[in-house]
Amino acid sequence: MIGPVVELPDSVRHRVVGLAADALGTLAAEHVPATLRRVADFAPARRARLAATQIAAVLESDDEFRERVAAQVRGAVPDLATALDDGTTPPAADPVEVAAVAYLLRPEGWKDLVDNARTTGPQAVSPVHEETVDRLQRQLSETRGEVRATRDKARDKLAATKTENAELRRKLADTRQRLRDAESRAMESVEQREVQAAAATHLEAEIRRLRARVAELEASTSASKRAVRDEREQATIRSRLLLDTLLESVQGLRRELALPPTTGLPADLVEGVEPSTGTSGTTRARAVDDPALLEELFCLPRVHVVIDGYNVTKTAWETAPLDTQRTRLMNGLAPVVARCKFELTVVFDGADLAHPPPVAGPRGVRVMFSPPGVIADVTIAQLVAAEPAGRPLVVVSSDREVADNAARAGARPVASAALVRLLTR
């Protein structure tokens, strides 16, 4: 039910709105009119300032809302409410406060109280009302300060957000550029893989062609080796026939001249260090020559064979200790010397040795170390030089310099691999 419309003085209206704004925050949500729900969560002073017209209109038109506000006001000013219900007015009461409370409670004669506040005017404003006005003004000032602070914070936050947004846009642009670059590199990589695949296919075809060519060359080489081997065998037969003829001639000449047997050998005159008896030797044979020719050279009459000891042992047993190498060489030479009965000298390098290690040489094998400060190559050269011209002399070494020097001195150089193959047959 809508009550009679009463025009309130500004002071009374302001106070009524203030009381209703205070009471609005205590009402349940379903009891708050729809027009006031948006300000229900505001502070009382802010409600009174922002929704004064709406609050006054709802109080005038909605008796139920006004009665709920009156109930809240009755609890806030019980003495004044009781006096108004009794039809009395406290003598010291503020007419504006009395009129505002009477407007909300609607006791008998409330309109007279409102008219009394209108006639009393501003000069009748009580100290309580002044205090309320001061309080409201302070609240208004504080609210304005809060608004300014909130506005400044919002402005700062907006500026920070804009800056962050600009940074994010820049990062997004960089990311997009990197993505485009990555896509471009991926395309290039795909193209490169396609080119590489094509090249690999071409290389595989070329490899197959080369393998076929290698097989042809290997077959041709095998045929050539067989032909050379046949020619070598024929040459060996001819040489052996010539040699037998020479041997028979030499033996006949020796019987004719009645030459005495030889009591000394030229190699005995070359300075060397004799090893003491004992044992001393590594693996890896390399077949670089046919040992059959070497064995034929060993069987030449009065032949002297000089062996570069460590050059041979390191060709055959490279990883074994030196004493084991020497022992294996001596054990391998023993049956060869016993079978062919030729003069054999084995020279080991003793340049860095103060005293040569013990070596147990087989019967008929001369073993020596080069003197301190002299390498084995020099001692081998001295042994070659000590032999008379025309005597069969064989030097076994794969050292290029030793072989070349032996050839220039008239000796027959033979690779160490040939002797290794002969010893390991």
- Based on the structure, what is the number of domains in the chain? 2
Q: Is residue 209 part of a domain?
A: no
Binned at pLDDT 50, 70 and 90, residue 205 comes out as very high
Q: Is residue 385 part of a domain?
A: yes
Q: Is the pLDDT of residue 279 over 50?
A: no
**Which residue among 100, 125, 150 closes a domain?**
125
Range of lowest pLDDT (63-77, 158-172, 285-299, 408-422): 285-299
Q: Is the pLDDT of residue 287 over 80?
A: no
Q: Is residue 419 part of a domain?
A: yes
CATH number of domain containing 359? 3.40.50
Q: Is residue 216 part of a domain?
A: no
Residues 304/387, Cβ–Cβ less than 8 Å: yes
Q: Is residue 156 part of a domain?
A: no
Residue span of the structural domain in which 327 resides: 266-423
Q: Per-residue pLDDT tens for 165-196?
A: 999 999 999 999 999 999 989 999 898 999 99
Q: Is residue 47 part of a domain?
A: yes
pLDDT for the residue 351: 84
How high is the mean pLDDT of the chain?
Answer: 83
Q: Is the pLDDT of residue 274 over 80?
A: no
Q: Answer left, alpha or beta for residue 390, where phi above 0 means left and psi between -120 and 50 means alpha.
A: left
Predicted structure pTM score: 0.37
- Mean pLDDT value of segment 214-243: 82
Q: Per-residue pLDDT tens for 229-238?
A: 888 877 777 7
Binned at pLDDT 50, 70 and 90, residue 329 comes out as very high
**Which residue among 125, 140, 159 closes a domain?**
125
**Which residue among 70, 100, 125 closes a domain?**
125
pLDDT for the residue 252: 61
Q: Is the pLDDT of residue 3 over 80?
A: no
Q: Is residue 407 part of a domain?
A: yes
Q: Is residue 132 part of a domain?
A: no
Binned at pLDDT 50, 70 and 90, residue 288 comes out as very low
